[in-house]
Amino acid sequence: MITDRIGQQIGNYRLVRLLGTGGRASVYLGEHRYLRRSVVIKVFHTKKSEQDVERFFTEAQLLSSFSHPHMVRVLEFAVEQDTPFIVMEYAPGGSLRSFYPAGSCLFPTMVAATLKQVAAALQYAHDHYVIHRAIRPENFFFNAQQEIILSDFRISLLAPSAELLSTQEIMRTLLYTAPEQLRGKPGFASDQYALGIVAYEWLCGHPPFVGTPGEMMAQHLSSPPPGLCEQLPFLPQPLEKVIFKALAKDPEQRYESVTAFAQALEEACQPEHLAQQDVSHASIVLPVTPLPVHADLKTIQASFSPGENTVRFSPLTMLAYLLANMIIGICSIAVNTVLLPLQVATMVPKGDETGAFSLVVGIGALASVIANPTIGALIDRSSSSWRSQRWLLAGALFIALGFCFLGWGSRLPLLVIGSLLSQFGVGSIQAALSSLLPRTSSSQRATISALSGMAPVIGGVIGQALVSSGHTIPLFSYVILLGVSALFLALFLFKWRDTSPAGFSPQVRRQNAGRLLTVWTHRNFTLTWLARFFLFLSYTTTVNYLAFFLLEAVHYSVVSEGVQRFFLVSVLSLLVVSLLTGYVSDKLQRRKPFVIVACLVVALALTLLGLNSSWPVVLGLACLLGIGMGGYLSSDLALASQVLPNQEDSARDLGIMNSAVFLPMLVAPVIAEGILSQFHHSYAIFFGILALFSVFSSLLMLGVRVK
């Protein structure tokens, strides 16, 4: 008989609320009397014999010894008045069944990512000779970190004893029960079969076998599951093949382990591993961006339509994308290297120019650092199909407003405000353009990365030429830069159509909003960010102090002319190498080797630069430096898009990744001044240390686990 125990005390816990009940036990939300900690308590209904209690302790001790990030922890167990109970960790996020109600259709990559976590917990249990035997969405929970944890391991079902493998309560989990489990002989492969049923259900909205208990048992034992591709013609066949192997009637014909099934499922959901299939003469391309939490079949099918999410750039779109990214260099590099130094020099006493200039540029760089992840997060959260375009327009408005302050500014505070506004706009545009990269076809991603990397450099050169043509009125120069930028942006908006899904449900957006700090817990992302930071720190510092090097070490007569020649040679080699290596990287579908080698080439160029003062040699090393940076930029962002922790936060996370480009602008002056003053302006040591930064960047990339 089931007794209502709400309000009662068992052990050190008070039973607060009934969460569920079954034939064997009732589950309560409990609270520790002294710690005030919420827990889940499973109280068994019937009193146990001495032999049963002994078995309970043996099995509960085993479960309590389990420690896995995707497994509910057993905190305590005991027997009170011959009634066993188990105290478990409380999962505040609720079960996945409540999150994905019956009939929900999930995007394939979401199915694979979820079941991968469940499979990891199951494999851990199997390695300890424990079969779960109750795999179903009701037993998958979200913990406080929004990770999946597996619950409800069945007591008295430890392998390999035949007695302990006897079947109990089959009817409760009949929808997910393996054929051998129905015959009273469950094994480790039975959990894999149940996991395959869950995958099937989440893809098409219903389990493969339904009906009366007798009908379901007969179907599990002898009937093949209805074809997924017959119900969902847009579903890639490799995905169906993986699931049907896990649903084989013979356990020997399934995958060798539950993790092998999860890995095969994940690989089948990757665009580069999917075979294209003809459906009404349309190619099926797996989307990169996930769907909302759950969707109807119409939404799922729309996400598989050609070109909806996985975008292929036409040559004209590539050109428009290049022009749009050039705005970053036009409105940042040209302003910071030509216009602002001249304006600052007219506003502050002689000798204070460097400090004032660093303040103005530093505030602008900080604004870009803030804008990138902020605008990226807003793009991720937006439900508008124009979410990228509207932030491009917003960025342009910020630039225009900032240029008003810069053009009309006659005092330093106005320049600070102008730099802040305009560079926030530059960061907004960069975030919006970068957000398109994860949706790009993997066969073009390195090429698009190369365009994104080289464009600001080209834009900077063009901007410098535009404002170095003798205009004495700053406002006129800013109007020219703004006009060219507006033209480039208009061309891109005319060519680009953002056809990706209309974002996530409000519930998902609220949950993802709290994951900003957790991005740094992902090893690949953190290492890639650090590698970018140190590489750009060495390059930015070189660029900023090139004029001093030419003046003090090379003794070049006209420094401005020397800087222009150095950059011309470097940029030309950067352009050629970036396009070439980007093409090769896309063909080979490899990014990491190109990035590592490029970092070492940059390190070599900087080392030799510090050891030579001959102008012809320096010009040759400018070419070598351009080769290194071209190779790096060709694959850098493409690789960064592969290490993003969450696709639903891809724009924000790429914004954080872009901050590794702007932060060096803040710290470069401090590091450079420290090195030069400490070592008496020894450029051999100066460039040697910068070369070490590049080498360190390559070493960090060795730890990144991508191709």
CB atoms within 10 A of CB 599: 28
Q: Is residue 3 part of a domain?
A: no
CB atoms within 10 A of CB 164: 16
Quote the pLDDT of residue 47. Answer: 65
Name the more confident of 288 and 55. 55
Q: Is residue 4 part of a domain?
A: no
Structure tokens at 675: 């090195």
Quote the pLDDT of residue 273. Answer: 42
User: Quick one: which of 261, 152, 249, 151 has its CA closest to 199?
Assistant: 261
- 41 and 176 within one domain: no
User: What single-letter DSSP state applies at residue 130?
Assistant: B
CB atoms within 10 A of CB 142: 18
CATH number at residue 52: 3.30.200.20
Most confident residue range from 169-183, 193-207, 363-377 = 193-207
Q: Is residue 608 part of a domain?
A: yes
* Percentage of residues of the chain with pLDDT beyond 90: 32
Q: Is residue 1 part of a domain?
A: no
User: Quick one: which of 495, 446, 417 has its CA closest to 635?
Assistant: 446
Of 89, 108, 129, the residue at which a domain comes to its end is: 89
- 540 and 508 within one domain: no
pLDDT by residue (tens digit) across 626-651?
A: 999 999 988 888 888 778 776 667 77
Of 454, 488, 513, the residue at which a domain comes to its end is: 513
- 68 and 22 within one domain: yes
Per-residue pLDDT band at 194 (split at 50, 70, 90): very high
Per-residue pLDDT band at 19 (split at 50, 70, 90): confident
Q: Is residue 692 part of a domain?
A: yes
CA torsion through residues 104, 106, 112, 114, sign: negative
Quote the pLDDT of residue 545. Answer: 80
Residue 544 makes CB contacts below 8 A (sequence gap 6+) with 668, 669, 672
- 396 and 252 within one domain: no
User: Quick one: which of 44, 29, 128 has its CA closest to 85?
Assistant: 44
Name the more confident of 264 and 345. 264
- 503 and 370 within one domain: yes
Give the pLDDT mean for 242-270.
Answer: 92
Q: What is the pTM of this model?
A: 0.56
- 361 and 464 within one domain: yes
Quote the pLDDT of residue 271. Answer: 55
Give the pLDDT mean for 48-69.
Answer: 81
Most confident residue range from 20-29, 173-182, 245-254 = 245-254
The DSSP result for 370-432, as a single string, is HHHHHHHHHHHH---TTHHHHHHHHHHHHHHHHHHHHHH--SHHHHHHHHHHHHHHHHHHHHH
302 close to 119: Cβ distance less than 8 angstroms: no
Quote the pLDDT of residue 15. Answer: 92
Q: Is residue 2 part of a domain?
A: no
Q: Which domain holds residue 403?
A: 311-513
pLDDT by residue (tens digit) across 33-53?
A: 888 889 999 888 766 667 777
Number of domains in the chain: 4
Rounded CA gap, 377 and 509, in Å? 10
Quote the pLDDT of residue 594. Answer: 93
CATH number at residue 499: 1.20.1250.20
Give the pLDDT mean for 683-690.
Answer: 93
Rounded CA gap, 55 and 292, in Å? 45
Q: Is residue 492 part of a domain?
A: yes
**Longest Cα–Cα distance in the chain:** 99
Per-residue pLDDT band at 337 (split at 50, 70, 90): confident
- 205 and 274 within one domain: yes
User: Quick one: which of 242, 169, 183, 190 has its CA closest to 218?
Assistant: 183
List the single range of 93-107, 320-334, 478-492 with lowest mean pLDDT. Answer: 93-107
Burial class (CB in 10 A: 0-12, 13-18, 19+), 370: middle
Of 253, 278, 303, the residue at which a domain comes to its end is: 303
Bridge partner residues of 142 (DSSP)? 148
- 450 and 565 within one domain: no
- 587 and 468 within one domain: no
pLDDT by residue (tens digit) across 419-457?
A: 999 999 999 998 899 888 776 766 777 788 788 888 888
Q: Is residue 356 part of a domain?
A: yes
Distances (CA, A) of 135 to 28, 121, 177, 424: 20, 12, 9, 50
Quote the pLDDT of residue 470. Answer: 53
- 686 and 598 within one domain: yes
197: pLDDT strictly greater than 60: yes
12: pLDDT strictly greater than 60: yes
pLDDT by residue (tens digit) across 465-481?
A: 888 765 567 888 999 99
Give the pLDDT mean for 584-593.
Answer: 85
Give the pLDDT mean for 586-612.
Answer: 91
Structure tokens at 214: 């007798």
Quote the pLDDT of residue 167. Answer: 42
CATH number at residue 253: 1.10.510.10
Mean of the per-residue pLDDT values of the chain: 81
- 327 and 299 within one domain: no
638 close to 445: Cβ distance less than 8 angstroms: yes
555: pLDDT strictly greater than 90: no
pLDDT by residue (tens digit) across 492-527?
A: 998 876 544 444 444 444 444 445 556 677 888 899
- 607 and 564 within one domain: yes
Cα angle 540, 545, 546; round to 5: 95
User: What single-letter DSSP state applies at residue 5?
Assistant: -
Identity of residue 206? H
- List b or e across 455-467, with b for residues whose CB sees 16 or more CB atoms inside 10 angstroms: bbbbbbbbbbebb
